Chains A and B, each alone.
Chain A
């Protein structure tokens, strides 16, 4: 049967502001960010960047997952497994094989964190060469599927920073069209030298805590995180009389068709993505109560996204904030962590602050939420835009 919206019955997250959903909520409500100088590995950029880092070593994460000593999990896979397992536990799934279940996981960096450490010893050392097979982006997905016992449908999406939003979109569609009954969707990305150096060369990393949508924003803080949602069909929800945390109500994806990395001046891709999501949800722009913006704090993104928002909402832009000043930008995981935050907003009827904001961008004159504000929320919109012009929007609605 074709259903209009898809229920979210579980979620899990590990980010620089907490190792569980509850810890993340606590940090958000206390305006406590997770941005600091990097400590898990050495980089020549130590003093010029700040990151949203998960303060656990790979060994600690592996112990937590009870992995054998000779495992070849990359950090990306370790984080992904932990967050996905939380989500499954939260959805109270006992036997995952009872329903047609899929896993759609996204990553941009894959196993690069291990490759860059072991690359030079690949040919001589067994402890290094075991990481060759964990380099591929799809390896982290396979590892999560192994941990959860999912065999039916497994796929990996890599569309840069909109990846996880696209995973959520695809999972929703697979349920809507009756191809699967349950899909675990989300993303995982670990920090690596590769990523840090790359963003550094693009001159878009800030040496201070990032300030999204501020006139004087200097760039982004990179982050690492993993987050997953459990999407389930109405049939499973009804049968198990399950708690619904929220619904995926709308989604849209469009290409900006402007530049490999830069967003267009008129925010066309972002505009089209939001427009499509509103159409799928079949609601009017004024029904959106809160926006979790992409808001990376780069000069280019925030201006372009703001212009797109004004094109959709006119002068009455809804309350909005970027939570990237809390977590840093976790790239392929961003859409999923902000999905979790959007759901937390709906569950708790609260909007989270856009930290470090002082002055509005002159071209936009729009001001984000800067403190924790309680308000009745029915629809929350979340944006995720990626390099390659890939723009995605999700709309979540309140659960039952």
Chain B
């Protein structure tokens, strides 16, 4: 499929390193738990969004990475509203599924938590990004074994060609047992990196190996 799309910017978070367009932006001590790490990044970004602390880890990851990306790319609210979001991961919401399971597994101490349950769906991750940035465009969440550059590329191109959205936020946000990895990129007609499978794979791998 031919298109004139480019990658405007990309961001990654892995091993307690936050990188923007391939350049490390924030680096934190490896010994920190994810909860400590995410709180430090939150503070460093000078965010004022108390809902952040109520989220599960995967959503915290999504909020941080999207915040960094949108701090970097200034988009007016009208255009922001129409952004489409195409996310994927391997673990769906497994990390929180486990936590929820713990709240219903003990007959003597049986207190299922509604606040945990609401995060037992992967697309809540997209929902949180939408709420934070007032994005109302189309969104979809794919669950697959590995990052699938082709699928994400095709889906984004299709959204663009069908005039559904001029800007598409794509990526991989995965959290499982304190192992996490987030990679997010914004695609539009503007920007200076050509958008194709090869370039996505290249920057994805560059982000992975860098850490």
Residues of A within 8 A of B (CB): 108, 110, 112, 115-116, 119, 135-138, 155-160, 166, 170, 173, 177, 179, 193-194, 197-198, 200-203, 252-261, 268-269, 272, 276, 280, 386-390
Contacts and interface: CB of A to CB of B under 8 A. Distances in A.
11 contacts: A138-B143, A138-B145, A156-B143, A177-B158, A194-B101, A253-B138, A255-B127, A257-B130, A261-B118, A280-B162, A387-B121
Interface in B47-104: 85, 92, 94, 97, 100-101, 104
A173 B124 contact: no
Given A138-B143, A177-B1, A390-B123, A255 B135 contact: yes
Interface in B127-161: 127-128, 130-131, 134-145, 151, 154-155, 158, 161
A159 B131 contact: no
A28 to B, nearest CB: 29
Identify the interface centre among A115, A177, A201, A252: most chain B CB within 10 Å of its CB: A201
Nearest to B81: A257
Contact of B117 (A198, A252, A389): A198
Given A137-B92, A173-B158, A387-B118, A256 B136 contact: yes
Given A157-B140, A157-B141, A197-B104, A255 B162 contact: no
A194 B92 CA distance: 15
Contact of A257 (B104, B134, B143, B145): B134
B135 to A, nearest CB: 6
Nearest to A204: B114
A197 B106 CA distance: 13
A261 B54 CA distance: 14
B118 A194 contact: no
Contacts of B144: 138, 155-156
Interface residues of B, number: 45
A201 B114 contact: yes
B122 interface: yes
B121 A194 contact: no
A273 B165 CA distance: 13
Contacts of B94: 135
A389 B162 contact: no
Nearest to B140: A166
A158 B122 contact: yes
A257 B112 CA distance: 26
Contacts of A159: 121-123, 126, 139-141
Contact of A136 (B92, B120, B164): B92
B162 A173 contact: yes
